[in-house]
């Protein structure tokens, strides 16, 4: 078995992957080189110029390297599972093991340790003092608030943030931005244009389709400099709007269910991410299915359910260009026990309900065709079989017919089943 060296790892990549890695690490080699030549030259670059490629890493990767170097070569560090991998892991510069269901194991081999150990502290100080790390945090904050932005709009917002935070120094911003790997890592280009995309957006095409269905959706919500920085903090987990009253109530409700530490951060992150697409999305309430506490009361679960709804309605939404559901009066979730208003404005005694349309699978496509359908089915049914008006079944995971956007089991199904 071959020794796991940098060169052997690089030779396992496809040529296009090596080209991307060269670009990300600041080593623009000629595309005319063969794959083996690319691997050889990139391995040589990594060994001989660590001060250069370390300056191309984002703060998250530098912090990971610092931790591994402080621990020493081949010393396993137990990390939280990230929602997206780091460049170091993707490139094979650090080793990892995901066989443990709870922790993500990471360590650094002696070969890589010897290369980076003398330079990692200097790279960290340089990134911090130059303002590059702060710029990355602001850029990620913008992307986490908006999801996806056209590149030119992203730059405009970043310039506005920089002028508010540092004064009118656009040229200085451009210089720092050119040295940041943020643009390379978060760039998304397709047939529709050039965009900057949050690492937490898994399916950009779905987000584009969702946005197009929303009326009057052509403005971007403005955010303060502090809002932007807070939305980009805590990589790789981002949880936006946790400092709002709704966010604080959600935090308290999750703690009463037994969440704490990293588990609490992960639960809040998942709720934020799922709140971006709340319609027909039962995963928004998955924290209620796996809470770690014991002896939790039904009241605590109910309070947390309500807190999730309130938070989802208040958090900035990608589909709404940073506006919340409450601000746009769109995609608003209503608690299932809330009594709808009648035309006169008084609360109705019974839950609002719309009869689901009969489907072909129920035997006929329209109520008018009932007699014709019964004729066709009569030969197939036992004699004396009682025919009645068929009402289509609503499964617990189906959207609730009341139009709340929740699944039936979380809405009227809790009352009417």
Q: Identify whether residues 227 and 198 lie together within a single domain.
A: yes
User: Read out DSSP for 64-118?
Assistant: HHHHHHHH-TT--EEEPPPSS--HHHHHTSSEEE--SSS-EEEE--HHHHHHHTT
Q: Identify whether residues 178 and 283 lie together within a single domain.
A: no
**pLDDT tens track for 54-64:** 998 989 899 99
Q: Residue 50 — very low, low, confident or very high, per pLDDT cuts 50/70/90?
A: very high
Q: Is 386 within the bounds of a domain?
A: no
Helix (H, G, I), strand (E, B) or coil at 159: helix
Q: Is 117 within the bounds of a domain?
A: yes
Query: Is-above-0.85 flag for pTM?
Result: no
Q: Is 274 within the bounds of a domain?
A: yes
**pLDDT tens track for 264-321:** 998 999 999 999 987 778 899 999 988 898 888 999 999 999 999 999 999 999 999 9
Residue 116, pLDDT > 80, answer yes
Q: Please give the pLDDT value at position 171.
A: 76
Which domain, by its residues, includes 64?
A: 6-125
Residue 123, pLDDT > 90, answer yes
Q: Please give the pLDDT value at position 225.
A: 92
Q: Identify whether residues 24 and 49 lie together within a single domain.
A: yes
Q: Identify whether residues 46 and 109 lie together within a single domain.
A: yes
Q: Identify whether residues 38 and 114 lie together within a single domain.
A: yes
Q: Is 266 within the bounds of a domain?
A: yes
Q: Identify whether residues 90 and 108 lie together within a single domain.
A: yes
Q: Is 376 within the bounds of a domain?
A: no
Q: Identify whether residues 18 and 96 lie together within a single domain.
A: yes
User: What letters, b where the CB count within 10 A reaches 16 and e where it falls short, cover 133-162?
Assistant: bbbbbbbbbbbbbbbbbebebbbebbbebb
Q: What number is the average pLDDT over the span 177-188?
A: 82
Q: Please give the pLDDT value at position 384.
A: 41
Q: How many domains does the chain fold into? A: 3
Q: Identify whether residues 103 and 148 lie together within a single domain.
A: no
Residue 356, pLDDT > 70, answer no
Helix axes 261-274, 298-314, angle to 10 degrees: 50
Residue 325, pLDDT > 80, answer yes
How many CB atoms sit inside 10 A of residue 341's CB?
11
Residue 200, pLDDT > 80, answer yes
Q: Which of 106-115, 131-140, 367-376 has the lowest mean pLDDT?
A: 367-376
Q: Is 279 within the bounds of a domain?
A: yes
Cα distance between residue 135 and residue 128, in whole Å: 10
Q: Identify whether residues 207 and 288 lie together within a single domain.
A: no
Phi, psi of 100 (to 5 degrees): -80, 130
Q: Please give the pLDDT value at position 370.
A: 47
CATH assignment of the domain containing 149: 1.10.10
Q: What number is the average pLDDT over the span 177-191?
A: 82
Domain boundary among 205, 231, 257: 231
Q: Which of 199-208, 346-355, 374-383 has the lowest mean pLDDT?
A: 346-355
């Amino acid at each position: 078995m071959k020794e796991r060296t940098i060169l052997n790892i690089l030779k396992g990549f496809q040529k296009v992957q090596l080209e991307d890695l060269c670009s990300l690490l600041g080593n623009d080699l000629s595309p005319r080189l063969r794959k083996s030549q690319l691997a050889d030259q990139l391995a040589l670059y990594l060994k001989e110029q660590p001060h250069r490629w370390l300056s191309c890493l984002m703060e998250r990767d530098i912090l990971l390297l610092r931790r591994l170097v402080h621990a020493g070569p081949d010393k396993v560090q137990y990390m939280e599972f990230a929602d997206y991998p780091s460049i170091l892991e993707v490139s094979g510069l650090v080793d990892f093991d995901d066989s443990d269901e709870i922790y993500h194991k990471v360590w650094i081999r002696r070969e890589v340790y010897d290369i980076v150990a003398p330079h990692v502290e200097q790279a960290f100080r340089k990134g911090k003092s130059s303002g590059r790390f702060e710029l990355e945090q602001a850029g990620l904050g913008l992307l986490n608030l908006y999801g996806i932005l056209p590149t030119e709009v992203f730059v405009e917002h970043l310039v506005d943030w920089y002028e508010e935070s540092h004064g009118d120094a656009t040229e200085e911003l451009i210089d720092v931005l050119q040295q940041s790997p943020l643009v390379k890592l978060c760039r998304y280009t397709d047939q529709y244009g050039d965009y900057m995309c949050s690492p937490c957006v898994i399916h950009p095409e779905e987000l584009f389709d969702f946005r197009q269905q929303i009326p009057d959706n052509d403005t971007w919500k403005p955010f303060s400099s502090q809002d932007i920085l807070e939305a980009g903090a805590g990589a790789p987990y981002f949880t936006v709007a946790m400092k709002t009253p709704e966010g604080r109530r959600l935090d308290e409700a999750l703690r009463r269910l037994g969440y704490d530490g990293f588990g609490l951060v992960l639960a809040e992150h998942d709720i934020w991410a799922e709140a971006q697409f709340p319609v027909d999305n039962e995963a928004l309430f998955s924290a209620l299915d796996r809470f770690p506490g014991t002896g939790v009361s039904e009241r605590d679960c109910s309070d947390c359910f309500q807190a999730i709804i309130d938070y989802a309605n208040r958090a900035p939404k990608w589909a709404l260009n940073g506006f919340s559901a409450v601000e746009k009066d769109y995609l608003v979730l209503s608690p299932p026990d809330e009594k709808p208003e009648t035309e006169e404005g008084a609360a109705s005694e019974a839950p609002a309900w719309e009869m689901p349309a009969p489907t072909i699978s129920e035997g006929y496509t329209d109520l008018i065709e009932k007699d014709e359908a019964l004729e066709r089915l009569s030969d197939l049914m036992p004699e004396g079989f009682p025919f009645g008006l068929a009402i289509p079944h609503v499964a617990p995971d189906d959207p609730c017919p009341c139009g709340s956007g929740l699944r039936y089991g979380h809405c009227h199904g809790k009352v009417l089943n």
